[in-house]
C-alpha cells in the first residue's frame, strides 16, 4: 500500500483493514465491536459527532439543545484503536479496493457503507426549495429559528389573513417524525405561545398534518394509528390522511383539487431516500436508492462491500418489502456483521440475518403515546413513560442523559420550553 493511496495518514495495517463509512447507530456499533477483534478499524463520517435523531424534533421545538442529543465521536472512541477521520465519501473503486474522500484516498480489505438516508422530496423541486426538512442538527435549528422568526413577524401584521399565514404550521408526512412533531407544536401552542405572545390571538394558528396514505403511522398497528390520530385531534391538530401535497411556493400550499392554504411554516417529513455512491453499479440499488444486500449484508455484486441500516435493502420472509428504517435494524445488523466478517477471514460459514422486532413507539404529547410491543399494545400514560425511558437510555453519554432528563423534568413541571432563542448568523461587512 503506497502513500499515494493512503493520504489520510492511516498507519499501515498489521491485520485486515475494515473501513466503515457513517457514525450512526449501525456504523458506530460495528466499529466498537470490530475494535475488539484483530482488525484495523477506520471510521469515516462527515461530522465529528454521533446524533440521536429520534429527538431532533424536540430541538426544532425548543425543547432541547443540539448538544444534548449529540456526542463527540472522538470521545466515544477514546481508549480504542479505532482511527477516525472527518470526511465525505466521494467514490468507491471496488476493483482496487479503494475509496476516495474529500481529504484523500484509502485502501480497504472490507468496506461497510452505513451512510443512512436523506429526505426524499419525490422529485418536487418547489417543495424541496421552499419547505423545511429535519434530518440533521442544523436542520432542526433552522426550523426553530424560522418558526420563531415568523411568530415575531406575525406581531407586525395588520390583516388577520397575514397573521394566520405566519402562525400556521403544516407538517407533511404522518410517520413517527410527523406525528411527534405535530404533537410538540400543538403543546407549544397550548402552553407556551399564549404567554410569549399575549398580543396575538393564538387561536388563529392552525396546525395541519398531511399524510398521503390512508392512515398515520403506517408501520404500526391500525389501533395505534387510530389512537395517535385521536390524540392529535384532541390537541387541536387538523389531521388529513389520504391527502397528498402537490406544491408549495413559500406561502401557498397546494393540495389536490386546487385547494390552497396560506402558510409560512412547512416541514417536510414524508419519506427518505439514500444517496447513490459513485463506483457502485446501478444494478446494486433497489427502492429509494437503498443498496441491495443479501442476508449477510453483502452488497449485490461486491463480496467485500457491505451495507447496513437505512441505506441497505434486505428482504426476509417476515419482511418481503425490506426492513423498517429504524435504529434497531442497523444495530442488530451491525452485531451480526461483526461476527460474519470474522467468519469470512476464518473461512467459516456465514450466519444469515433475522430481524428481531422489539416493537415500535411513538409519542404525541404529555401522557399521550402509543406502543406496539411483542407482548401487547399500549396507549396513554404507560406508553408515554415507556417511550421516555427507552429514548433516555438510548442516548449516548451520562451527561447527555442527565441534560435531557433535567430538560424533560423542567418542561413537565412548568409546562414550558426554556430554549426559545432566535440565534441568527450575521454576515461580516
**Residues 267 and 280 placed together within one structural domain of the fold:** no
What is the spatial distance between Cα 245 and Cα 255, in angstroms, rounded to a whole number? 5
Angle at 364 between CA 361 and CA 368, to 5 degrees: 85
The dihedral sign for the CA sequence 212, 213, 214, 215: negative
Whether 81 shows a pLDDT value over 80: the answer reads yes
Per-residue pLDDT of 150-161, as tens digits, reads 999 999 999 999
**Residues 233 and 303 placed together within one structural domain of the fold:** no
Q: Does residue 333 lie within any of the structural domains?
A: yes
User: Which among 309, 326, 345 is the end of a domain?
Assistant: 345
Which residue has 399575549 as its cell numbers? Answer: 198
Whether 224 shows a pLDDT value over 70: the answer reads yes
**Residues 20 and 93 placed together within one structural domain of the fold:** yes
* Three-class DSSP labels, 252-307: EEECHHHCEEECCEEEECCCEECCCCECCCHHHECHHHCEEECCCCEECCEEEEEE
**Residue 136: its pLDDT value, please?**
93
User: Which among 254, 271, 288 is the end of a domain?
Assistant: 271
Range of the domain at 211: 125-271
**Residues 222 and 320 placed together within one structural domain of the fold:** no
Angle at 386 between CA 382 and CA 392, to 5 degrees: 145
**Residues 191 and 305 placed together within one structural domain of the fold:** no
Q: Does residue 421 lie within any of the structural domains?
A: no
**Residues 7 and 106 placed together within one structural domain of the fold:** yes
**Residue 9: its pLDDT value, please?**
81
**Residues 217 and 129 placed together within one structural domain of the fold:** yes
**Residues 253 and 340 placed together within one structural domain of the fold:** no
Q: Does residue 186 lie within any of the structural domains?
A: yes
**Residue 195: its pLDDT value, please?**
93
Per-residue pLDDT of 322-335, as tens digits, reads 999 999 999 999 99
Other beta carbons within 10 Å of 402: 13
Per-residue pLDDT of 68-79, as tens digits, reads 999 999 999 999
Per-residue pLDDT of 360-379, as tens digits, reads 999 999 999 999 999 999 99
**Residue 418: its pLDDT value, please?**
67
What is the spatial distance between Cα 172 and Cα 181, in angstroms, rounded to a whole number? 10
165: CATH: 3.50.50.100
How much is the average pLDDT of 106-127?
95
**Residue 164: its pLDDT value, please?**
96
**Residues 86 and 171 placed together within one structural domain of the fold:** no
Q: Does residue 231 lie within any of the structural domains?
A: yes
> What element of type H or E holds 49?
strand 49-51
Confidence label for 426 from pLDDT (cuts 50, 70 and 90):
low
**Residue 8: its pLDDT value, please?**
74
**Residue 302: its pLDDT value, please?**
97
**Residue 48: its pLDDT value, please?**
96
Cell numbers describing residue 141: 435549528
Cell numbers describing residue 387: 417511550
Look up the pTM and report it.
0.92
Phi and psi, residue 184, nearest 5°: -65, -40
**Residues 24 and 158 placed together within one structural domain of the fold:** no
Q: Tell me how many domains the chain contains.
A: 2
Q: Does residue 406 lie within any of the structural domains?
A: no
User: Which among 328, 345, 362 is the end of a domain?
Assistant: 345
Per-residue pLDDT of 10-51, as tens digits, reads 888 888 999 999 999 999 999 999 998 999 999 999 999 999
Q: In 52-88, at which residue ranges do the beta strands (DSSP E only) sit?
A: 70-72, 83-86
Whether 419 shows a pLDDT value over 90: the answer reads no
Q: Does residue 409 lie within any of the structural domains?
A: no
**Residues 252 and 235 placed together within one structural domain of the fold:** yes
What is the spatial distance between Cα 291 and Cα 297, in angstroms, rounded to a whole number? 10
SS3 of residue 414 by DSSP: helix
Whether 149 shows a pLDDT value over 80: the answer reads yes
Whether 166 contacts 151, CB under 8 Å: yes
What is the spatial distance between Cα 388 and Cα 383, in angstroms, rounded to a whole number? 9
Strands 118-119 and 272-273, how do they pair?
antiparallel
Residue 211 CB-density burial (10 A; 0-12 exposed, 13-18 middle, 19+ buried)? buried
Q: Does residue 185 lie within any of the structural domains?
A: yes
**Residue 421: its pLDDT value, please?**
77
Other beta carbons within 10 Å of 347: 6
**Residues 143 and 239 placed together within one structural domain of the fold:** yes
8: CATH: 3.50.50.60
Amino acid at each position: 500500500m503506497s502513500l499515494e493511496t493512503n493520504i489520510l495518514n492511516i498507519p499501515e495495517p498489521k491485520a485486515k483493514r475494515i473501513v466503515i463509512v457513517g457514525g450512526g447507530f449501525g456504523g458506530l456499533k460495528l466499529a466498537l465491536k470490530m475494535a475488539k477483534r484483530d482488525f484495523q478499524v477506520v471510521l469515516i463520517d462527515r461530522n465529528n459527532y454521533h446524533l440521536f435523531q429520534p429527538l431532533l424534533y424536540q430541538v426544532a421545538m425548543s425543547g432541547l439543545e443540539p448538544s444534548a442529543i449529540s456526542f463527540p465521536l472522538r470521545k466515544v472512541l477514546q481508549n480504542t484503536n479505532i482511527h477516525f477521520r472527518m470526511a465525505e465519501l466521494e467514490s468507491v473503486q471496488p476493483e482496487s479496493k479503494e475509496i476516495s474522500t474529500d481529504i484523500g484516498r484509502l485502501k480497504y480489505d472490507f468496506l461497510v457503507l452505513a451512510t443512512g438516508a436523506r429526505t426524499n422530496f419525490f422529485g418536487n423541486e418547489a417543495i424541496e426549495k421552499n419547505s423545511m426538512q429535519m434530518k440533521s442538527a442544523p436542520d432542526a435549528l433552522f426550523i426553530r429559528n424560522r418558526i420563531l422568526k415568523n411568530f415575531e413577524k406575525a406581531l407586525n401584521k395588520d390583516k388577520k389573513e397575514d397573521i394566520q399565514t405566519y402562525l400556521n404550521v403544516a407538517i407533511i408526512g404522518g410517520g413517527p417524525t410527523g406525528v411527534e412533531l405535530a404533537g410538540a407544536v400543538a403543546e407549544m401552542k397550548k402552553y407556551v405561545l399564549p404567554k410569549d405572545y399575549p398580543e396575538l390571538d393564538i387561536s388563529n394558528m392552525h396546525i395541519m398534518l398531511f399524510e398521503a396514505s390512508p392512515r398515520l403511522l403506517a408501520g404500526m398497528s391500525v389501533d395505534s394509528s387510530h389512537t395517535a390520530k385521536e390524540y392529535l385531534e384532541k390537541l387541536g391538530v387538523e389531521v388529513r390522511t389520504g391527502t397528498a401535497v402537490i406544491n408549495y411556493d413559500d406561502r401557498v400550499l397546494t393540495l389536490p383539487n386546487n385547494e390552497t392554504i396560506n402558510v409560512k411554516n412547512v416541514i417536510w417529513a414524508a419519506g427518505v431516500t439514500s444517496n447513490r455512491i459513485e463506483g457502485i453499479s446501478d444494478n446494486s440499488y433497489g427502492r429509494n436508492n437503498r443498496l441491495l444486500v443479501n442476508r449477510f449484508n453483502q452488497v449485490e455484486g461486491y463480496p467485500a462491500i457491505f451495507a447496513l441500516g437505512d441505506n441497505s435493502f434486505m428482504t426476509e420472509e417476515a419482511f418481503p418489502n425490506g426492513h423498517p428504517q429504524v435504529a434497531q435494524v442497523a444495530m442488530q445488523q451491525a452485531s451480526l456483521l461483526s461476527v460474519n466478517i470474522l467468519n469470512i477471514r476464518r473461512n467459516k460459514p456465514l450466519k444469515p440475518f433475522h430481524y428481531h422486532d422489539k416493537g415500535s413507539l411513538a409519542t404525541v404529547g404529555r401522557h399521550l403515546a402509543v406502543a406496539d410491543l411483542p407482548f401487547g399494545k399500549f396507549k396513554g400514560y404507560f406508553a408515554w413513560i415507556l417511550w421516555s425511558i427507552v429514548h433516555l437510555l438510548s442516548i449516548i453519554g451520562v451527561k447527555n442523559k442527565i441534560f435531557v432528563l433535567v430538560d424533560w423534568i423542567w418542561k413537565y413541571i412548568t409546562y414550558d420550553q426554556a430554549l426559545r432563542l432566535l440565534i441568527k448568523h450575521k454576515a461580516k461587512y
